[in-house]
A and B are shown apart, each in its own frame.
Chain A
Amino acid sequence: MLNTSLGYFNSLIKKKLSLDKLEDVLFNMGFELDEVKGDEIAIEMTAERPDLLCAHGLARAINHYLGEKPREYKTRKSGYKVIVESTVKKVRPFTVCAVVKNLKFNEDNLKEIIDYQEKLHSTFARGRKKAAIGIYPFEAITTPIYYRAEKPEKLSFIPLDFSESMTGKEILEKHPKGMDYKYLLEGCDKYPIFIDSKDEILSMPPIINSAKLGKITNNTKEVFIEFSGHNMETLKKTLNLIVTALVDFGGEVYSMDVVYKDKKIETPNLNSEKINLKKCNAESMLGLKLSDKEIFSLLEKTGYLIKGSKIFAPCYRTDILHEVDVIDDIARAYEPGNFIPEFPQVSTIGNLMRNTRIETKVRELVVGLGFQEVFTLLLTSREEQFGKMRREGDAILLDAQVDKSINMIRVSLLPELLRVLKTNQHYEFPQKIFEVGKVLFPDKKSETRSRETTHLSSVISNSISTYEEISSVLNSIFSNLNVSYKLKETEDKRFIKGRVAKIIVNGKESGIIGEICPKVLDNFKLDNPTTGFELDLDFLN
């Protein structure tokens, strides 16, 4: 979601757009204007396009879409150095950096860049794991800047939002950001820091900046930007996101020499990337005939640079992995409403799976016996499935579930049907309900360590409900499926003693039938006598 003010956003768009028109343009590009509240607007964005997660980035894309020619971004050589010491190798080995000068911050764009940084942290950077971003007032920093790792108890500085100096260790224990992100440094003997030539600490990535050197304000004219992480290519791409946004703010980019032990690299690299696109692939994927000129103009509409007959992807695009991603942009530029839908002429013969057909027949049969079908959930709890049913058993358990009322996957339908009865006690009786549904059991031998089977369960609840009644239901089911079965007296705590039987099909125990024990009814807070059965339908396969 991109939240901005309409006035500010409109000031970034070169053509004057009414709100309706803005909505249309966004829709065609593939985004939705989610909410308008006075001057505040919220636009639904996607993490797949991190270049559009700030107002300037989205405005840039809209301007291209409305006809503005895409520009090239250039860097100036500065010679500023960032020296990467080998101590960071084990913690967070890479950094890429840049300096942007001539900036004029105000309340709006300062908020925008800070929001953008946070948004990149939470989406593209996967909660700072993939990349941590730092932006600092360059005026206050003395180069060269060092990137090194120090023992956590030895380094200390005043972190943002605090007024006292803390050690690295204390920051992780006491600072809110430290507590949020400490898992990213877990198990490291040394913590990474950026420190300038006057031994002032800039920050301890990926956790927190210093209060002194790590905060940009309206008065900041020049910024130092660093990205740290584990994958150089990712960092390079991501750096361009912030840098190009700041250029759009009006800044000028200066490159830095990032000096590693074995190599020196100059960052950022704002060169656009040459794209190989086969026209025939675009045409067959889009179902369109297009001239080169049309393709070029469609590509320009989505920000690509065209030089002669060569296509270049802008340096802020992190999402282009394959030719199809470029074709997707052509499609967006062509606008969804301009495609003429065509029914695919592919003839094949359709079939249902056998078990689907059989289950439908079983459902129809039980419906015919006067039962209302219900759908209960597979996610349930031990208390419902075992505790209230006075039994124990193995089940597939859940880990770290958000909804604390669930903790396992059902092994039986019967308790879930009793829960349905509980919910509906105030309605007319008799209540006759059934379900055909899956139950799951742990199975060490299977590929997914689980075994699924389909059960049928029916219950009758009424002022009088007898074994004879439910048994005749079961009998009708078996006789209509032309399957022979036997009932064998048994004991089961779920049912009244002497009124419960195992259902035997083909010599195999396949279910249970009986009058529900009053203790179980009491556990489910049910008042009416209830009878029921549960049957594994495996014998139909």
Chain B
Amino acid sequence: MYVLTEEGEKYLKNKLPEINLVKELSKKELSVSEAKKLENFNIALQWAKKNQWIEIEKGVMKLTESGKSILEKKYEVEEYLKEIKSGKFDEDKMKILLTRNLVRNVTEKELETKKLIGKEVVDVTPEIIRSGVWRDVKFKKYNVEFPGKKIYPGKKHPLNLVFEKIREVFIEMGFDEMQGPLVETAFWNMDSMFIPQDHPARDIQDTFYLSGEGDLPDKKIVKNVKEVHETGGNSGSKGWNIKWVPEIAKQLLLRTHTTSVTYRTLAGGIETPCKRFCIGRVFRNEASDATHLPEFHHAEGFIAANNLNIRTLMGFIKSFYSKFGLDEVKFKFNYNPYTEPSLEAFGYSEKLGRWIELINSGIFRPESLSPYGIKVPVIAWGFGIERLAMFIYGNKSIKEILGHTCDLKYLRNYNLLKLEKW
């Protein structure tokens, strides 16, 4: 089915441009420059010439014989337009009209669309737009104040957003990422950082031991660690004064902190100044409750450089906290087997109206550095990410977000901007 285009409709109404040109020339001869002022001159010139209706001599346009006679006859193109308009059509005749863009093919849908003219319409369709019918219809009014139906986008896990934020903060401050294995030897989880072999933290109530033994690192490191435990080695310490047993260090376990990664890095050799961080999963052999699961995530970082001290440790933690919106920070000394002094850092939460304890930190003990030949001070800190996340998102139970118990409704609906202001 074909219909006239807008141009076709216009020519049917106002005659084709080449006819109009001939009409003008029949009144008087025109120069090309004068004729240019006529509407659609280029189209008129093209078709009048093609039809051999005009000649141009020295810039003046004249009608030929057939040009003169055409005004008396019916011009076939105009006839075709009329036929189309009246609903008839002929493939052969259509060709010229199609070339001249005076007709176009229409679909059933478009024809249906035409019927909408003057009516009230619900849906805006491509046909309404293409056919121009939109000019002649009224669109039904909606209740635009009614909220849309809820849909669920794909979303990242809320904890992942916290990871990304922590990474962003560390990277901004110039820290290089480090990673290490989840299954560790007791050596890297404890011995390497001067946790004595009879320390309560090694109990099976706290640590997941696995069957079998792992490998110890190279002999020189093992020897240095053994010495520092037994006698203090060359660290200036008395050591723990208990016999260091390699079999205890070979025990396999699930790492209880990411400090194992830190000590693998330190023992592997570092170039100072050095700033590194790690985010990873850690395990504690505990029963689970609303705020604890036997596995969770730690973030930790260290700086090894000259001129570091308690004050710079405090200064760093203060900046770190402020990146999470906690501007007021206070410190308390505590005890930790591999740092001395050790500091707990509390941040004041305006929203909760209380101090919250997140970060544990300290200066690494010389006994935990001398086996690896590290002579500069190393300040370090770490924290549990779930604890921070629960403060940020206000979760009552960690099981709501972590593990197979997670609540899909919560995950689908949690506020993506919570992290920006909590």
Contact = CB atoms under 8 A, between A and B. Distances in A.
Contacts of B45: none
Interface in B134-180: 152-157, 159-160, 164, 167, 170-179
Nearest to A424: B408
A375 B209 contact: no
Interface string A158-196: 000000000000000000000000000000000000000
Contact of B181 (A32, A433, A450): A450
B62 interface: no
B182 A452 contact: yes
A332 B239 CA distance: 23
B236 A323 contact: yes
A8 interface: no
Contact of B286 (A29, A363, A402, A419): A402
Interface in A346-403: 346-353, 355-356, 360, 363-364, 366-379, 396-403
B200 A123 contact: yes
Interface stretch (B13-21, B25-33, B85-93, B311-319): B311-319
Interface in B226-284: 232, 235-242, 252, 254, 273-275, 281, 283
Interface stretch (A92-100, A104-112, A264-272, A335-343): A335-343
A295 interface: no
Contacts of B402: 375-377
B208 A398 contact: yes
Given A27-B332, A396-B183, A420-B404, A363 B156 contact: yes
Interface stretch (B3-11, B113-121, B363-371): B363-371
B409 interface: yes
Nearest to B205: A402
B181 A400 contact: no
A373 B154 CA distance: 7
Given A323-B236, A328-B340, A377-B402, A343 B319 contact: yes
B333 A30 contact: yes
Please provide the 6 A-B residue pairs with the shortest distance between their CB atoms, ordered closest to farther. Answer: A419-B404, A287-B309, A287-B311, A341-B314, A30-B333, A48-B335
B353 interface: no
A294 interface: no
A131 to B, nearest CB: 11
B241 A233 contact: yes
A232 B378 CA distance: 34
Nearest to A436: B160
A368 B154 contact: yes
Contact of B232 (A287, A321, A327, A341): A321
B378 to A, nearest CB: 12
A252 B212 CA distance: 53
Given A322-B340, A371-B154, A375-B157, A350 B331 contact: no
Interface string A270-291: 0000000000000011111000
A377 B295 contact: yes
A367 B281 contact: no
A304 to B, nearest CB: 16
A351 B404 contact: no
Contacts of B210: 396-399, 449
Contacts of B211: 397, 399
B201 to A, nearest CB: 10
Interface residues on B, range: 35 or more
A405 B243 CA distance: 37
Contact of B214 (A32, A364, A447): A447
13 contacts: A30-B335, A123-B200, A231-B241, A234-B241, A324-B340, A347-B273, A348-B175, A350-B170, A350-B175, A356-B167, A373-B157, A403-B287, A447-B214
A341 to B, nearest CB: 4
B312 A343 contact: yes
A11 B329 CA distance: 34
Nearest to B334: A30
A416 interface: yes
Given A321-B237, A350-B174, A371-B154, A341 B305 contact: no
A369 B154 CA distance: 7
B418 interface: no
Contact of B237 (A126, A322, A375, A400): A322
Question: Which has the most chain A C-beta neighbours within 10 Å: B172, B176, B183, B315?
Answer: B183
A377 B404 contact: yes
Nearest to B342: A328
A429 B420 CA distance: 30
B401 interface: yes
B174 A347 contact: yes
Contacts of B333: 29-30, 328, 331-332, 336
Given A284-B309, A322-B340, A372 B411 contact: yes
B309 A129 contact: no
Contacts of B366: 322, 324
A329 to B, nearest CB: 9
Interface in A312-337: 321-325, 327-328, 331-332, 336-337
A321 B366 CA distance: 11
A341 B311 contact: yes
Interface of B: 152-157, 159-160, 164, 167, 170-179, 181-185, 198, 200, 204-205, 208-212, 214-215, 232, 235-242, 252, 254, 273-275, 281, 283, 285-288, 293-295, 303, 305, 307-319, 329-335, 337, 340-343, 363, 365-367, 377, 379, 401-409, 411-412
Given A322-B238, A336-B331, A448-B184, A341 B318 contact: yes
Contact of A348 (B152, B214, B252, B273): B273
Contacts of B171: 350-352
Contacts of A422: 404
Contacts, number: 276
A406 B210 CA distance: 13
A363 B157 CA distance: 10
Contacts of A438: 182, 281
A86 to B, nearest CB: 22
A348 B171 CA distance: 10
A60 interface: no
Contacts of B318: 341, 343
Contact of B154 (A350, A372, A449): A372
A339 B314 contact: yes
B310 A285 contact: yes
Nearest to B379: A344
Question: Which has the most chain A C-beta neighbours within 10 Å: B242, B294, B343?
Answer: B294
Given A324-B365, A336-B343, A346 B404 contact: no
B107 to A, nearest CB: 30
B404 A372 contact: no
Given A327-B341, A346-B305, A398-B208, A351 B176 contact: yes
Nearest to B281: A378
Contacts of A126: 198, 200
Nearest to A435: B157
Contacts of B313: 344
Contacts of B252: 448-450
B242 to A, nearest CB: 7
Given A130-B198, A424-B408, 14 more contacts: A129-B198, A284-B377, A287-B311, A327-B340, A344-B316, A377-B293, A379-B295, A399-B210, A401-B285, A403-B286, A423-B405, A423-B406, A431-B408, A447-B215
B316 A343 contact: yes
Contact of A378 (B182, B237, B405): B182
B311 A352 contact: no
A129 B179 CA distance: 37
Contacts of B367: 321-322
A334 to B, nearest CB: 9
A231 B152 CA distance: 65
A339 B295 CA distance: 36
Contacts of B310: 285-287, 331, 339
Contacts of B331: 336-337, 339
A22 interface: no
Contacts of A348: 174-176, 273-275
Contacts of B343: 336
